[in-house]
Structure 1
Amino acid sequence: MRILGAMLLAAMVISPATADELTGTLKKIKDNNKIVLGVRDAAPPFSYLNDSEKYVGYTIDICGKIVDALKKDLSLPNLNVQMLSVNSSTRIPLMTNGTIDLECGSTTNNVERERQVAFTNSHFVTASKFASKKSSHIKTIDDLKDKNVTSIAGTTNIVQLIKVNTERKLGITVQPARDAADAFLLLETDRAAAYVMDDVQLSVAIATSKDPSTYVISEEAFSPPEPYGIMLRRNDAPFKTFVDRVTAELFPSPEMVKIYNKWFQSPVPPRGINYHYPMSAALKKALAHPTSSPDPAAYQP
């Protein structure tokens, strides 16, 4: 009887969507035969529009695995998958008001955000650094003193920039940018001496620029390792349990290595650029031992 009881409990934990009474997001998806994914138009290789106006990317592929599991567990083979464009300023409000069900981009999971939303197991680990032109000879954060520096409005990066600027009394003029393209244009046209963002996104921006050899990424970081997570609503334990189960099965698997290599170690459409961005030790740890912790210490290799 004890063994049977344990098996029944495991089944409930592993497949919460098979219960007769669904709640929260699982019920919303089942009742409407629809899931709404919050996606980014221009955040390659995580989430962006390709030449066919189709959303593709590393996080899109991961969300696709979650959608496949929902189709199976909710018996919705024809589940309608709607993609809704979000940005750094709208993604959290659209999640909390119920407009989107999963946010499939490059959102940092931190303690402050977890007061508003929840995250599933981290699918990427990065650190906040800055890009500058080699000709400017800016190597450290202190070298940014009295300079114009840009970052994207609504991101953790601009918060970190403002914090460091205040603490070190650097006199930096912070220039909020609308998105990654806008921020890099400020750097490219010398209206900003540096662009603060997650190191992987800086690598992507430089790789797709007119002359990648012009730019350099700082060694000094504004932050310890930071996890990216797929965002979902708070206080929805059944849905989080479901998504956590799917990602916990995917992340340590060979399939996840294929997904990573497809977007970071191979030519990426539409321009066929290979970012040559190897998996970091911190990310290897996160994928081998899936966690949704916002604590940077959990990702130290």
Structure 2
Amino acid sequence: VLALSLSACGSKAGDKDNSWDYIEKNGKLILGLDDSFPPMGFRDDADNIVGFDVDLAKAVADELGVELVLQPIQWTAKEQELQTKNIDCIWNGFSVTEERLEQLTLSIPYMENTIAMVVVNGSGIKTRDDMAGKRMAVQGGSSAEETLNSDENKAFRESLGEVNGSFKDYVTALMDLETGNSDAVLMDSVVANYMINEAGKDFVVLEDSLVAEEYAIGFRKGEEALANAVNEALRDLKADGTVAKIATKWFGSDTTIIN
């Protein structure tokens, strides 16, 4: 349902949308991201910002004939960074939600994800019912936090003993889980599976997820021209095999849903 609503995020009739003209004339697209969100966007051992979203965005920028500028931001301030025009888009495992559909113009969705719990293997926690009275860690400003605070999950949230939303990224949240200060971390399964495999930690992602969602790119409300240009580039890159090549590099197969 959400995916069908993306095209409805348009500008008011009569408004002049110069969003793509501005980017084309300026010659660059400034992308805001959380640089500690593997495999979508993170720093490698040489301190370079890398990731699936980074590679995909570079390919889109090349297709559009503009330079990609990566701008690390505080994830809790991402909408403010966008509205004050410090960045041109939010592109970093950015989940489609009802609230974001109302506040922003979003691209076509390009990947599926679930919001799921990560626990220590052998903890005895297998479903959300097992979390009653226990401690949940979550990144502040994330879609996981928004999901946990939704009306649909009110009963589950109230069953928890404690919710800690002070973590600025999932790296520190998972460290909190490893040290035993939290009993579970609520996060994107795409990110969780990658981080667990890369770090070799004895964590598991529970199948009892809270919600299924999709990733898209966020633009300022009404910037349909820019969104459409990016959408067209994404579709072209999907058609010529570039997207599949990038996805296979990071996930082992083409996990994208661009159409």
Q: Give the TM bin, normalised by the shorter chain.
A: 0.7 to 0.9
Check whether the contact 1:96–1:116 (CA below 8 A) recurs between aligned residues.
no
Q: Which residue of 1 aligns with 2:61?
A: 67
Q: Which residue of 2 aligns with 1:167?
A: 155
Check whether the contact 1:151–1:197 (CA below 8 A) recurs between aligned residues.
yes
Q: Which residue of 1 aligns with 2:205?
A: 217
Please state if 1:51 is matched with 2:45.
yes
Q: Which residue of 2 aligns with 1:296?
A: none
Task: Tell me by how many angstroms 1:90 deviates.
Answer: 1.8
- Percent identity of equivalent pairs: 22
Distance (whole Å) between structure 1 residues aligned to residue 113 and residue 27 of structure 2: 35
Among 58, 78, 95, the residue aligned to 2:82: 95
Q: Select the structure of larger CA radius of gyration.
A: 1
Please state if 1:227 is matched with 2:224.
no
Unaligned runs of 5+ in 2: 1-15
Report the 3-state secondary structure (helix = DSSP H, G, I; strand = E; otherwise coil) of the residue aligned with 1:112.
helix
Report the 3-state secondary structure (helix = DSSP H, G, I; strand = E; otherwise coil) of the residue aligned with 2:174.
helix
Distance (whole Å) between structure 2 residues aligned to residue 112 and residue 126 of structure 1: 18
Distance (whole Å) between structure 1 residues aligned to residue 239 and residue 55 of structure 2: 15
Counterparts in 2 of 1:217 and 1:99: CA distance versus 1, 3 Å = same
Report the 3-state secondary structure (helix = DSSP H, G, I; strand = E; otherwise coil) of the residue aligned with 2:210.
coil
Check whether the contact 1:129–1:196 (CA below 8 A) recurs between aligned residues.
yes
Counterparts in 2 of 1:126 and 1:170: CA distance versus 1, 3 Å = same
Among 90, 93, 99, the residue aligned to 1:112: 99
Report the 3-state secondary structure (helix = DSSP H, G, I; strand = E; otherwise coil) of the residue aligned with 1:251.
helix
Count of aligned positions: 241
Q: Which residue of 1 aligns with 2:190?
A: 200
Check whether the contact 1:129–1:222 (CA below 8 A) recurs between aligned residues.
yes
Please state if 1:183 is matched with 2:170.
no
Report the 3-state secondary structure (helix = DSSP H, G, I; strand = E; otherwise coil) of the residue aligned with 1:219.
coil
Query: Could you state the TM-score of these two structures normalised by the residue count of structure 1?
Result: 0.74
Matched AA of 2:18? G
Unaligned runs of 5+ in 1: 1-21, 72-78, 266-277, 291-301
Query: Could you state the TM-score of these two structures normalised by the residue count of structure 2?
Result: 0.85
Q: Which has the higher contact order (CA 8 A, sep 6+)?
A: 2
Among 126, 130, 145, the residue aligned to 1:143: 130
Task: Tell me by how many angstroms 1:86 deviates.
Answer: 1.8
Matched AA of 1:53? D
